[in-house]
Chain A
């Protein structure tokens, strides 16, 4: 049996006990990555470093040392996360080939848990996109139909897991960038609560929204990854000191008596009827397991897209000011040009079209004369979206919705229409704006055999409850 078909906890146990060597796992993972190169999921594969690391793990075990909770487990890292031993580009030409002088905290925690970090995954440039077509290094393809997109922006991480190259991956989610590709590739993806996971070493896009989270093929594997990366980090003052509960134990609890809120606002026009049917069927199975289904209202959901694209672009225009050609990355310097010309030329050559569009939009909504009508108003609407969630969670324990209004769409379909692309995130944006915990898990297929995702949302720091419900869904879908 292939090591790469096992849940993470089982593989780690086999490596810990010596029944399987980390080296054999590393070789298998690297072989699948090479065989599936056409999917363009990886921007960098750390072949030798992975084999060296596997050898060290096996030697440590042979000496009688106990290995960590991710012993020998191959994990892929989104290229927005800084790594000491591999380049970090965030999908952009402006950072091509850049080496970070430090590891992101989440990367350091995976290493400390004895994972094998096999490489860096492709993504929309600076995590701006919902299809992975905005990568400066070419689009990622969906393994279930290679003429279709895998979702974005963490498309490479989702595909690494979906195509069996790795057992887990890290992504980042600002408005749906973990959940939407998870839905479109048939994987489990968690967007933890704002503050649950350190962002030290994550290339910043929109700092009031960005979160790091895991992908895996099953719920309890995702739970193990979350338990390794979650928790306070003194290097990120926005990370919470709230304790980290036992997420894997939560996967075994019953849903009997839990109240599942279903907002009709998430089932309106634009939702593919096949997806609506399968999502409702999954909710009905939860009800059959003893959960209570409660209709709820979230009337500000429909303003999520507009709110997000004002706030996220405003934050991005500020965060991306650091790319100036002086301290790291690309530098376009013409003889005799002054410092301003250096900035202009570097940024114009280094950023792709979607990044420029968002920087300009963010600059507009923050500019004198427009700030109050756009940015400040969006902050007020954000407060109303948060209030929708607070009111809903006074009545229910979790909320169940579709993750994406459509299954994976064809490559190229929305490239020329940024607004149509933004609408791909209509169901994932509100939870990001509210800072609450959410995940996507596969609950079926369309007639064309494309994966369908169910989104579950819980209050901030209620990831354990989210995992209880997700694991029950997974058992009843099997």
Chain B
């Protein structure tokens, strides 16, 4: 399928990317070509597939529900770009006005 400039911008909003103007033409062209290629999947007869595909272990076992030490607060915050009062700091995002 042909991907339009508006499609790219819509996907970028969903994916939380703000694309520069000069990135758009190539992304439109690349995504169109790739989607044209993967469209072949639509022609594969999958009528006999009824089970959900699965790889790996038959079940993903859960560990015993026992408290154990994890990362310390200091270690978890050590690589954070901004920390305030022992917590990750973000810009204001609730409008209380």
Q: Mark A residues whose CB is within 8 Å of B.
A: 98-99, 101-102, 194-195, 208-209, 234, 237-241, 300, 303, 305-307, 309-310, 317, 321, 324-331, 333, 337-345, 347-348, 351, 353, 356-357, 359-361, 363-364, 367, 373-374, 377-384, 386, 418-419, 422, 434-435
Indicate whether B56 reaches chain A with its CB closer than 8 angstroms. Answer: yes
Query: Most A CB atoms within 10 A — which of B16, B35, B71, B91?
Result: B16
A377 and B42 contact, CB distance less than 8 A? yes
Complex: how many Å from CA A419 to CA B55? 26
Q: Mark B residues whose CB is within 8 Å of A.
A: 3, 7-8, 11-12, 14-20, 23, 26-27, 30-31, 33-35, 37-38, 40-42, 44, 46, 49, 51-53, 55-57, 60-63, 71, 75-76, 78-82, 88, 90-93
B18 and A345 contact, CB distance less than 8 A? yes
Dominant secondary structure of chain B at its interface with chain A: loop
Complex: how many Å from CA A101 to CA B34? 38
| Residue of A99, A300, A331 touching B82 (CB-CB under 8 A) | A331
A384 and B46 contact, CB distance less than 8 A? yes
Complex: how many Å from CA A212 to CA B72? 27
Residue of A nearest to B55 (CB): A435
15 A-B contacts, Cβ less than 8 Å apart?
Answer: A101-B79, A195-B56, A306-B41, A325-B81, A326-B81, A327-B80, A338-B91, A341-B91, A353-B26, A360-B15, A364-B35, A378-B38, A379-B52, A384-B49, A435-B56
A303 and B79 contact, CB distance less than 8 A? no
B71 and A101 contact, CB distance less than 8 A? yes
Complex: how many Å from CA A351 to CA B23? 13
B75 and A101 contact, CB distance less than 8 A? yes
Query: Most A CB atoms within 10 A — which of B18, B27, B60, B92?
Result: B18
A-B pairs under 8 A by CB, number: 163
- Kindly list chain B residues whose C-beta atoms are within 8 Å of the C-beta of A241: 57, 61
- Kindly list chain A residues whose C-beta atoms are within 8 Å of the C-beta of B27: 356-357, 360
B30 and A306 contact, CB distance less than 8 A? no
B38 and A310 contact, CB distance less than 8 A? yes
- Kindly list chain B residues whose C-beta atoms are within 8 Å of the C-beta of A359: 15, 17
Complex: how many Å from CA A307 to CA B44? 11
B60 and A238 contact, CB distance less than 8 A? yes
- Kindly list chain A residues whose C-beta atoms are within 8 Å of the C-beta of B92: 338-339
Complex: how many Å from CA A209 to CA B53? 13
6 tightest Cβ-Cβ pairs between the two chains A and B: A435-B55, A331-B81, A380-B46, A339-B93, A328-B79, A344-B18
Min CB gap B94→A, angstroms: 9
Min CB gap A15→B, angstroms: 33
| Residue of B14, B16, B34 touching A347 (CB-CB under 8 A) | B16
